[in-house]
Every structure is written in C-alpha cells, then in structure tokens.
A and B are shown apart, each in its own frame.
Chain A
C-alpha cells in the first residue's frame, strides 16, 4: 500500500505537471526549431510572439463570454484559439513582409537576423502591453478538475490524492494531436517534404524547383499556429502575464537546443527533457522516502537536490552541458 502511495505521490507532483509543462515547452521549442531550420535565425521574439497569440485568445474569450457562447465544461478559450491563430498568422506575415524579408533577400548573416528579432521582440512586447496591459490574467472557465484529490482518495482509499486539472489533460491532448498532425505534414505531404529539403540544403532545394516564398509563408503559418496554441495552453494552465512569457523564451530555447536545433522531433522531446529535469531536481522527496523506506530510516531533511528557486537554472545548466559535449543536441540536429 505504501508503495502505491509513493507512486501516486510522484504522479501527482512530478509526472502530471511535468508532462503538461513539457508539452507547452515542446510546442514553443518546435516553433523555435522551425524558424531556425527554415528561416535560419534564432528568434528572440519567441516568448513575446506566444504572448501576442495568447492575448488574442483572451480577447476572443472575453468576447465569447460576453455574448454567452461557451463550451460547457470545456474552457471557452478552446473556441477562441482558431480565431486567435488567424490574427497571429496575419501578424507574423506582416512582420515577415516588413522586417525579415529584406534581410533574407540580402542574405544577411544569422546574427543580424537575430538582432532584428530583438527589435521585433521590443515592438511585440509593447503592443501586447499597450493592448492588454502587463498584469496577471486568468481566462480559464469551465470545469477545473478532472479528478479532485479528495475524490481520488475516497474512491481508492489511499492516503495520497491524485489531482488532475482539466487544463493539464487538454494540454497533453491538444499537443499530441497538433504534433502528430505536424509530423504527418512534414513527413508525408509534398509541401512538408519540400520544407525539409529547403531546411536541409537551400541551394539544392531551389534547383529542384521549390518555391522559397511559399516555404517561408507556410513556415510562418505553422509557427503562428504553434505559438498561439502553445501560449494559450500555458496561459490556461497557469496564467497569462507578458513578463512570464518573455521569460519562458529561455527554457524554450534550452529545449530546442537540447533536442538538436533544426530537428522538430528533437525539440518535441527536448521540451519534456527540460520539464522533467526541472521538476525532478527541485522536488522535495521527503514524503516519497517516508513511504518507501521503513520507519527507522526516515530522512530528516527535505531531500531536495536543489531549491525550487533554481528551477530555471537547472534547464540552463543542462543546456550548457549539452552544448559542451554534444553541440548538435541529444537527438542530432543541424551540425553547427
């Protein structure tokens, strides 16, 4: 019985939250990796683009709530996301036309494009803050829990409860659908294949008659979808605050590089690597050992490897280690 309690404990505090957080990171990381692989620059506006998409999701959610349209037990935001994606793609294509296109045509070095993306970051951040403000916003509605801790205890008769938030399930579910659709697109369709070819070798792709303009537009469209959905899911699960989104750029970058930048599947797994290591290393295992070990060997301290304050530092350290020993990432991205 104690053993099951211990498992439930880990499930509740580590596995489920890490899976949800990892999915959110994974979507962002695929976004970074796609931009890096096809447009060939590190996009420092990642976090703010995600917050831009989330902002539209929130605005539409408010609109739907005010006219009384809802999805019952599901959050209204799910209904708002498609509309937000539409606006987000528009914004991205606009930015590309007025900002990035010029540098791409001039074949500027990637560093210059990264600098330009910092300009985009500033502008996007300003727009988001001017439109919706810098404060913390929750836009979740509907049923909050799938299983409540108390109910779970009653049903199973265990000491430990397992609480599963509906947002966590939605996050994981949506991520699986979205990522499978994306991989199907990249691997099976002609356009997807041409995108991969373009990412692999630009000149060769041009020679085989692939239209670079089309590739760029499709990349931005996919990026818009990923950014909006990733951002909205994070906002649903936690809350929306422009500053946190800006900060989230850092673990997202870490995930993309750990997974091997330019490799979407690596980025997907990288998200989970980062999320799990962050949570595993900063969790206090005292209670777990109390269940597993006999009473005489009960630990005194919290058995916490690192204090939770170092959550971000964990992912960055992993990144640094990976950069040192395998610069191309765990799952072999572009060799840089």
Chain B
C-alpha cells in the first residue's frame, strides 16, 4: 500500500481536478475531458508498450489512429449498394491483383538467390502491377465516386455495430505495423522515428485522397453510436423520472407548475448529454481497465522481463538466444494495435470521421509528450500522463487567459499588447506542452511516475 502511495495520490489529484472542472465549468465539459483522457490513456499505453517496454521509437501514432478511425467507418456505415454495383467488381479485382502481385514478389524472393537480375524482375513486377491495377481500378473508382457524391460517393461499410470496429481497428493498425516493422525496424532509433513519421504521413495522404474508400476530405458524418441518442433520451419516461429524482430538492423549491416544468425540461436536456457521455465513459473505462490488466500482466511476465532485457542491452539479449528482431516486430505490432483501438474509440465518440483533422502535432507528438511526462515503462505513469497532458491541453486556454490578465492587469483593456496576447491565448497550450516536456526531461527524466520494477 505504502509504495503505491504516490500513484494513488497522483490519480486522486487528477480526478479532483476533473471534478473541479465539473463544479466550476460544467459537468459536460468535465466528462468530455474525462472521455478524451481515457482515449489518450489507451494511446499512451500503446506507445508505452513500444517505448517503455522495448525502447522502440514510433512516431507513426497518427497513422494508426487514423486507421482505427477508418475501421470505425468501414464497420459501421451501411453498404452503398449502387456504389458496389457500379464499381465494386473493379475494386475487388484490383484487390486480388494486389494480393497476386505480393505473392509473385514473395515467390521470386524465395525462389531465386539475391542478384541484380532478381531486383530487376521484382521492380518489373511491381511497376507492371501498378500500371495494370490503375487501369482496372480507375473506371471503378470514378463510377463509385459519381454515386450521389453529396451523400455517399464511396463504397460504405458493413453495417455492423460500431463496437466491433474497436477490434477491427486494432487488426488494421497491427497489420500496418507489421508491414512497417518488416521494412523499418532494422533502422537506428532516430532513423526509425523519422521513417515512421513519414510513413504515417503517407497513410494520412491515402486516407485523405482515396474518396472511394473513405470519402476523403468530404468526411463521414452520422456514424452509429453504441450509446443512446440525446433526442430519444429526452422523450423516454424513465430518464425524465430519473432526472426528476436526482433534482427533486432543487425542483421542489420552485412552486409555480409551468416554471417547474420548464426547469425540468432544461435539466433533462442537460442531463441527457451528460448521460450519453457517461455511457461512453463506462465503455472506455472498461477498455482501459482490460488493457491495463493485460499490460501489467505482460510487464511482470517472463516475456516482459525479456523485453526489458532487450531494451537495456540488445547484444546481450541476442547472445542469450533471444530473437531480438522477432520480439521487436511483435511488440511493434501489439503497441500499434492498441493505438488502433484508441483511434476507433475516438471516431466512435465523435460520431464522425474527418481525415483532414489528423495532424502529427496532435496525434503523434502530443502522445509522446504524454508518455514522457507520465513515465515511460510504467503503465500507471503512461495513463496518468494521458490524463495530465490532455487536461492541460484543454484547460490551458483558460489558464493562459488568467495569466495574461494577471500579468497585464496594469494595462488598459484596449492596449494593443493586451489585446494581442488575449487573442493568442489558444497557442499557450503549445508553450505549456513544450515547457512541461523540457522541464520533465531535465529534472525528472523518468516521468512523474517512474518505472519501478519489482520481481513478484
């Protein structure tokens, strides 16, 4: 108990802060911060597995997040029948061609010894394949994108409940990580960082511009929800009764019947969005707890011990007969799959998929700040980092405003400096993140909750 005191203290302070936001700002804001904190926590757990357990640097988090989001779209949206009949055949054919191409390349790689000729043959296969695929897919893509472009213009998905996409998102992200890992894991750490960053940009470029699959920058809106809709809630009796019960003290003070009714209506509207957010919080919390249990188990298992051994001294681990390459690939896939889950969760919560919103600042570097600040190698630390950093990211604007008002109190309200500073309050969040990261890295390089390994 005693040695976990700092963990408990840190988490209590964090929850206290969120509750304070609930009391002083609104419960709606507090809950949306809390939900995104949970999603960030899932992402940081993924990054932490790679960086904290194995020392692999992965700056491609944005790409996996986006793939998770794509999974949410492909699973939950109803299939667009006309689009399938217009160009589905071509797309399926191109898919088979791609598979055939990959198989052909693999065959050549396996069958023949490394030589110049083999390289040329592979290059020819790939170039020919791309040309053929373009000829096959182009008419299909055009036909699909012409199907009611204002509303659909894409193939749609499978029309399944969106919750499934959390698993599919993990599979997608894991698959991408497998390919990237095969290609790039041999590189030195900072090369790997750059390579993953650039590959994630390629993924985003594809998601943004392949309209037949994702609608691209036209966005997909109105995704299905695992939680009830506010509008429906506001008309169900049990919910109205529940709100009435909760606020009976407040309501009984109002004597006038019509006033009381309108007050109740107001409370029901507020309550419904809080209730929906609570549903999400519950779902997300379940995911976070399951992942936390699994990752903790893994950390203290022989496998976790081996990972740390590889991280701390690759050559020694290799000499002891551990397959470093294989384990690196495995952990790269696992960590990315977790990030994929988070990506699907994010889209589920928002109910919309906006490829244009995926930017490395928000989805890669911020997550890294979370991991470093929280404490890499320690799951509780990583989760705490997700909470703290996201909380500051959202609340830095009010804090910045307060600071600006405090420091420029002596100035006139119309003074150009004050006006300018107040206008640029939103950018104080970058300053806080940067300063926070630099301070932590300098004075507490292992994070708020440092890695603590005890053998149980």
Contact = CB atoms under 8 A, between A and B. Distances in A.
B and A form one assembly:
yes
Interface of A: 41-42, 44, 99, 102, 109-112, 114-116, 118-127, 129-130, 133-134, 246, 250, 253-254, 257, 307, 309-310, 312-313, 316-317, 319-320, 323-324, 327, 336
User: What is the interface of chain B mostly: helix, strand, loop, or mixed?
Assistant: helix
Contacts, number: 123
Interface of B: 57, 183-184, 187-191, 193-195, 197-199, 201-202, 205-206, 208-209, 361, 365, 368-369, 372, 421, 423-424, 427-431, 433-435, 437-438, 441-442, 445
B430 A123 contact: yes
B434 A119 contact: yes
Contacts of B205: 309-310, 312-313
A119 B198 contact: no
Given A118-B365, A327-B187, A320 B431 contact: no
Contact of A307 (B193, B201, B209, B361): B209
List 9 tightest A-B contacts by C-beta distance, closest first: A122-B434, A123-B434, A126-B430, A126-B431, A119-B437, A316-B198, A129-B427, A119-B438, A309-B209
Contacts of B435: 119, 122-123
A39 to B, nearest CB: 12
Contacts of B183: 320, 324
Contacts of A129: 424, 427, 430
B369 A118 contact: yes
Given A119-B437, A313-B205, 10 more contacts: A99-B438, A111-B190, A118-B437, A120-B434, A122-B434, A126-B434, A253-B198, A309-B205, A310-B209, A317-B202
Contact of A323 (B191, B201, B369): B191
Nearest to B428: A126
B368 A320 contact: no
B441 A112 contact: yes
A158 B177 CA distance: 53
- Most chain B beta-carbon contacts within 10 A, residue among A134, A313, A327: A313
Contacts of A309: 205, 208-209
B430 A323 contact: no
Given A119-B438, A126-B428, A114 B193 contact: yes
A253 B196 CA distance: 12
Contacts of A254: 198
A130 B187 contact: no
A8 to B, nearest CB: 29
A127 B441 contact: no
Contacts of A320: 183-184, 195, 198-199
Nearest to A256: B194
Contacts of B187: 323, 327, 336
